[in-house]
């Protein structure tokens, strides 16, 4: 019996909950989760590798800030030694960020742009009551994702100032299917899980 297809909004909400849950991982569970990402497949790992290369200086900066910025016992005797607690915290924070980047790569690889935008539009629907133009926000999200994916590595700062070519003929189809009762139940469970992650 085939599994029911989840609405893009439910898949997106689950992915956001997973990102929040990653922030609770530390120690052995974090190491196991990182090791398990090797089973995701070459396409996802290649995409994750590109994301990690783009953020490598952020990872290095994060490690330095925590390793030398957290008070504790020095890792070795001598000038300029990081603290043991700082190194542990740096490893935890860098591990979490790596896991987030791999999770983002897996999500973008498995969820087409149209489905991502459809899920975002459905999740942001309640904001219409506040006067926010959800459709405009979704279009801006599409442009930001497309620009981030296609931005070439600059060899000169002047290349960042060049206006990228705009493909005026490009179209993106949004599947604006309504939420089924099962989807609504899963979203309600997601809200409960979000409260549990935040409050526990």
* Each residue's pLDDT tens digit, 81-119: 888 999 999 999 999 999 999 998 888 888 877 777 788
pLDDT at 11 over 50: yes
For residue range 138-177, list pLDDT tens digits in order.
Answer: 777 777 766 655 555 555 555 555 655 555 555 656 666 7
Residues 96 and 117 grouped into a single domain: no
The predicted structure's pLDDT at residue 173: 61
| Angle made by CA atoms 58, 24, 99, in degrees to the nearest 5 | 45
As to burial, measured by CB atoms within 10 angstroms (0-12 exposed, 13-18 middle, 19+ buried), residue 27 is exposed
Answer yes or no: is 174 within a domain.
no
Q: In this structure, are 48 and 93 located in the same domain?
A: yes
What mean pLDDT, rounded, does the chain reach? 80
Is 26 within a domain? no
Q: Are residues 147 and 91 in the same domain?
A: no
Report d(CA 53, CA 177) in Å as an integer. Answer: 37
Verify that 78 and 120 share a domain, yes or no.
Answer: no
Give a yes or no: residue 7 inside a domain: no
Query: Is 69 among the domain residues?
Result: yes
Residue 97's domain spans which residues?
Answer: 39-110
Q: Within this chain, do residues 101 and 121 fall inside the same structural domain, yes or no?
A: no
18-75 residue pLDDT tens: 888 898 888 899 999 999 998 888 888 998 998 898 888 989 999 999 999 888 888 8
Rounded to 5 degrees, φ, ψ at 74 are: -65, 145
Confidence category of residue 7, pLDDT binned at 50, 70, 90: confident
Q: Cα torsion at 162, 168, 169, 173 (round to 10°)?
A: 100
Tell me what pLDDT residue 123 has.
80
In a domain? residue 189: no
Do 100 and 55 touch, CB atoms closer than 8 A? no
Q: Are 43 and 104 in the same domain? A: yes
SS3 of 36-102: the string is: HHHHCCHHHHHHHHHHHHHCHHHHHHHHHHHHHHCCCCECCCCCCCCEHHHHHHHHHHHHHHHHHHH
């Amino acid at each position: 019996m085939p599994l029911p297809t989840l609405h893009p909004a439910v898949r997106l909400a689950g992915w956001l909950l997973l990102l929040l849950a990653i922030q609770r991982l530390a120690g052995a569970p974090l190491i196991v989760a990182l090791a398990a990402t090797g089973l995701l497949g070459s396409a996802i790992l290649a995409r994750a590798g590109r994301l990690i290369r783009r953020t490598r200086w952020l990872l290095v900066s994060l490690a330095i800030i925590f390793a030398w910025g957290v008070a504790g016992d020095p890792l070795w005797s001598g000038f300029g030694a990081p603290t043991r607690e700082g190194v542990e915290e740096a490893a935890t924070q860098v591990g979490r960020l790596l896991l987030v980047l791999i999770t983002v790569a897996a999500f973008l690889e498995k969820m087409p742009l149209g489905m991502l935008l459809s899920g975002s539009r459905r999740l942001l629907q309640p904001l219409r009551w506040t006067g926010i133009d959800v459709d405009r926000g979704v279009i801006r999200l599409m442009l930001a994702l497309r620009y981030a994916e296609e931005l070439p590595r600059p060899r000169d700062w002047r290349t960042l100032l060049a206006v990228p070519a705009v493909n005026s003929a490009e179209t993106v189809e949004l599947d604006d299917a309504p939420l089924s009762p099962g989807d609504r139940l899963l979203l309600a469970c997601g809200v409960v899980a979000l409260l549990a992650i935040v409050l526990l």
